[in-house]
Amino acid sequence: MRADLTLIHEWIPEGARVLDLGCGEGTLLAALARDKRVTGYGLEIDPDGITACLAKGVNVIEQNLDEGLANFEDDACDLVVMTQALQALRRPDLMLDEMLRVAGECIITFPNFAYWRHRAYLGFKGYMPVSRSLPHAWYDTPNIHLSTFNDFERLCRDKGLSIVDRAVGIGDHEGHWTSRWWPNLFGEIAIFRVARRA
């Protein structure tokens, strides 16, 4: 499993009701159902991802996240997870509101645009960064709202949300390390656990 997914897997409590936004092939939900009796739904629009979820027995609902989560009631879930999808949404800020309406807590991961390799790519080459976490060219990328570790923290602060936990992912083989030191520079993947202000 991807480094960020491994960490999320650890963070999610036994028996939780989880909504996974942009669940892809349902890898996380399948693992959580198997290891932690987690129930819930994945939302996805990619046809191949949806078919893969069905084959795994993961509950998947074809739904465009840009249309919101109106079909889920307030506090319908314990946790909303969104891995590597925030940056592809039309309004990430509104989605954050929606996520914390549907559940008291959410876990979000996204590529950190301020990662040193990205900075170096742009700084030295003068081109939009292309990397493992940002594999697309500028013209065909689904990632329309790139941000940094710091940007996201500021958004949470402005919204009065509390950041329960944060971590950085750096590559698949290394797993993750949780650090207070320069996450904005050394973190390739930003991983946040955010709650409504208690």
Partner 1 sequence: MPEFPSDSVGLVTPQTAHFDDPLALACGRTLPAYDLVYETYGTLNAERTNAILICHALSGHHHAAGFHSTDERKPGWWDAHIGPGKSIDTDRFFVVSVNNLGGCHGSTGPTSENPETGRQWGPDFPIMTVGDWVHSQARLADRLGIERFAAVIGGSLGGMQVLQWTLSYPERIAHAGVIAATPKLSAQNIAFNEVARQAIRSDPDFHDGWYADHGTAPRRGLKLARMVGHITYLSEDAMGSKFGRDLRTTDLNFGFDVEFQVESYLRYQGDTFSTSFDANTYLLMTKALDYFDPAAPHDGDLARALAPAACPFLVVSFTTDWRFPPPRSKELVNALVRADKSVSYVNIDSSHGHDAFLMPEPRYQAVFAAFMNRVAGDLGLEGQS
Residues lying near partner 1 in the complex (CB under 8 A): 39, 41, 47, 50-63, 71-73, 76
- Find the shortest distance in angstroms from Cβ 58 to partner 1: 8
DSSP H/E element including 163: strand 162-169
57: left (phi over 0), alpha (psi -120 to 50) or beta: left
Q: How many CA atoms lie within 13 A of 33 on its CB side?
A: 16
Shortest Cβ distance from residue 51 to partner 1 (Å)? 5
Cβ distance to partner 1 smaller for residue 71 or 162: 71
Nearer to partner 1, 10 or 73 (CB): 73
Are 114 and 148 in contact by the 8 Å Cβ rule? The answer is yes
- Least Å distance between CB 73 and partner 1? 6
Q: How far is the CB of 17 from partner 1 (least distance, A)?
A: 8
Q: CA-to-CA distance for 120 and 103, rounded, in angstroms?
A: 38
Pick between residue 102 and residue 167 the one whose CB is nearest to partner 1: 102
Q: Which CB atom, from 8 or from 53, has the smaller least distance to partner 1?
A: 53
Burial of 128 (0-12, 13-18, 19+ CB in 10 A): middle
